[in-house]
Amino acid sequence: QVQVVESGGGLVQTGGSLRLSCSASGTIFELNTMGWYRQAPGKQRELVATVTSDGSTNYSHSVEGRFTISADMAKNMVFLQMNSLKPEDTAVYYCHAQAVDTLIAGTINYWGQGTQVTVSS
């Protein structure tokens, strides 16, 4: 079995900070990408930030300059430091991991259960 578990969500005031953590465990293929997505009520799930095995990062424009993603790919761990939080950041944040499956020449995607982040005005 594969488990992807997030932690670190909570309730903060506008301008506050939170640090999310995610760990993937179990027998899995080698990961090439880990990242964070979020979903607010009434909206589709959207990308927040990703990091690849070579260290390349990608951020949503809405969080660029405020959030920082980091990872230890060898340990299947990823983190998201969130600063200068705004009410519009309120959402359930999901950890995502992607692995290469050489048997089918494709990829496998894993998702965590989500952690709630609420920013009060």
pLDDT one-digit tens code per residue, 4-62: 999 999 999 999 999 999 999 986 788 999 999 999 999 999 999 999 999 999 999 99
User: How far, rounded to the nearest angstrom, does the alpha carbon of residue 11 sit from its chain's CA centroid?
Assistant: 18
Residue linked to tokens 């300059």:
65
pLDDT of residue 27: 63
pLDDT at position 65? 97
Please, where are the H alpha helices in the chain? none
Among candidate residues 110, 108, 106, 107, the one with its CA nearest the CA of residue 97: 110
- Mind listing the pLDDT tens digit for each residue in 72-120? 988 999 999 999 999 999 999 999 999 988 888 889 999 999 999 999 9
Among the listed residues 66, 96, 64, the one whose alpha carbon sits nearest the alpha carbon of residue 82: 66
